Amino acid sequence: MEFELNDEERAFQSACRKFGDRVLRTNERKIDSEGRIPADVLRAMADLGLLAMPVPSEYGGMGASAVLTEIAAEEVGRGDFSMATAVFFLLEAGWGSILARHGSEATKQAVLPAVTSGRAFLGIATTEPTGGSDLHGMHTESRRDGKSFVLRGEKSFVSGVEEAKTLGGGHLTLSKAAGGGFNFLYVPTRSDGITTQRFHNMGRMGISTGSLTYQDARVPEANLVGPEGKGFGVAMEGFMVARTFVSAACIGAAERALETGMAYIRERQAFGAPLGKFEGIQFELVDLWTQVEAVKWQCRRAAWLLDTYTLKGDPSHRSEVERAVASVKLTAPPIAFECVKRVMMWYGAAGYTVDVGLELGLRGIMSYLVGAEGGLNIMRIILGRELLGKEFLPYT
């Protein structure tokens, strides 16, 4: 068992920390207020290798392990507290790695070099206006027509709809296959028959969320990701990867919140002593730190399991990987939210101001509590299924 980062991992972590401090922290308010990540920030991310970093080098990526990507995700979540950059980072890392593993050579060549260099966006589209948890109940349908698929339906609350339109790129899109099962297709947003609409979110404003409507949008069969009719499992594999990176980003944000809070309670005086001397606050810090530390190692282990089994195509530890990922996605966002909330309270009235900046984190992290990358109850359902068996699923 090895808990130490190796030299490469330590050096990359340190480079990402510096990048987070110099580039992301200094831009986070601008990212939030302007509603986009500036082009020079994306360029700097590409230069450091942070765009779709698990993608193999022949398509412009670093071929990074899930562990190294998890380490970087923590730093991106710590750097841009609004979580917008973390979302951009982890969608491309997670779904880029899935496209690299299951896409056709033609699509990988066409899409991945543009994504890794910041010239295109890659995201995921599964949720529909009628719901995101019950994916078997989706309505969007893809019908084979010769060497193409024709899509009809609507996706909703999809991250990066505007980025994919302006920068270029698209989404790995799950649809019901007219012939049975599910198709998972790379769908470029600028295709004929696709319209987008941006929604008005309360947080992580630097990356758009919105809808994609397909009115007989046609994509070539080369855009299939995984076998025809068998896309559901491929999408679920991608969610395991993306959920691990989401959790890592939340852990980075939680650590930043606690560090901010520790600096404050060392200095701020009340009743003749620094706040940190009072057990009501010191013990809260200790409890939060302990939980963050625990989930951090849980998250790294989830990434290690992905590297060791899932991303090598080895299904032998499926249940263990499912449990590791679902439990970390169930734990990391709420503890990160709690850290930010508590630190805001240590600050008192100042915590409620935009100047202190804690609200950025609160608004961003909340997206993972309400549902992004799967609601918390869905993680509980996965865990219940893995602990008790499929016959205990709350639905048939």
Ligand X SMILES: Cc1cc2nc3c(=O)[nH]c(=O)nc-3n(C[C@H](O)[C@H](O)[C@H](O)COP(=O)(O)OP(=O)(O)OC[C@H]3O[C@@H](n4cnc5c(N)ncnc54)[C@H](O)[C@@H]3O)c2cc1C
Q: Which residues on adjacent β-strands are paired with residue 172?
A: 124, 186
Does 169 bind ligand X (CB under 6 A)? Our answer is no
Element (H, E) at 17: helix 7-19
Which one, 153 or 351, has the nearer CB to ligand X?
153
Of 192, 188, 129, which is closest to residue 163 (Cα–Cα)?
188
Q: Which residues on adjacent β-strands are paired with residue 12?
A: none
Which one, 11 or 370, has the nearer CB to ligand X?
370
Phi, psi of 59 (to 5 degrees): -110, 15
- What helix, strand, coil percent values describe the chain, rounded to 5? 60, 15, 25
The contact pattern for ligand X, residues 68-107, with x = CB under 6 A and - = no contact, is ----------------------------------------
Encoded tokens for 38: 């500036």
Q: Applying CB under 6 A, which part among 18-26, 95-103, 224-232, 374-382 lies near ligand X?
A: 374-382
Report in angstroms how near the CB of residue 278 gets to ligand X at its nearest: 36
Report in angstroms how near the CB of residue 395 gets to ligand X at its nearest: 6
Give the residue, chosen from 107, 142, 159, 310, that forms a contact with ligand X under the rule CB under 6 A: 159
Characterize the bridge pairing of strands 169-177 and 141-145.
Answer: parallel
Report in angstroms how near the CB of residue 164 gets to ligand X at its nearest: 10
Q: CA–CA separation, 180 vs 74, rounded Å?
A: 39
Residue 8 makes CB contacts below 8 A (sequence gap 6+) with: 68
387 in Cβ contact with 253 (< 8 Å): no
Q: Quick check: helix, strand or coil at residue 136?
A: helix
Does 197 bind ligand X (CB under 6 A)? Our answer is no
Does 374 bind ligand X (CB under 6 A)? Our answer is yes
Q: Applying CB under 6 A, which part among 138-146, 266-274, 292-300, 363-371 lies near ligand X?
A: 363-371
Q: Applying CB under 6 A, which part among 11-19, 25-33, 128-136, 308-316 lies near ligand X?
A: 128-136
Which one, 249 or 372, has the nearer CB to ligand X?
372
Interface residues with ligand X (CB under 6 A)? 123-127, 131-133, 157-159, 201, 209, 367, 370-372, 374-378, 394
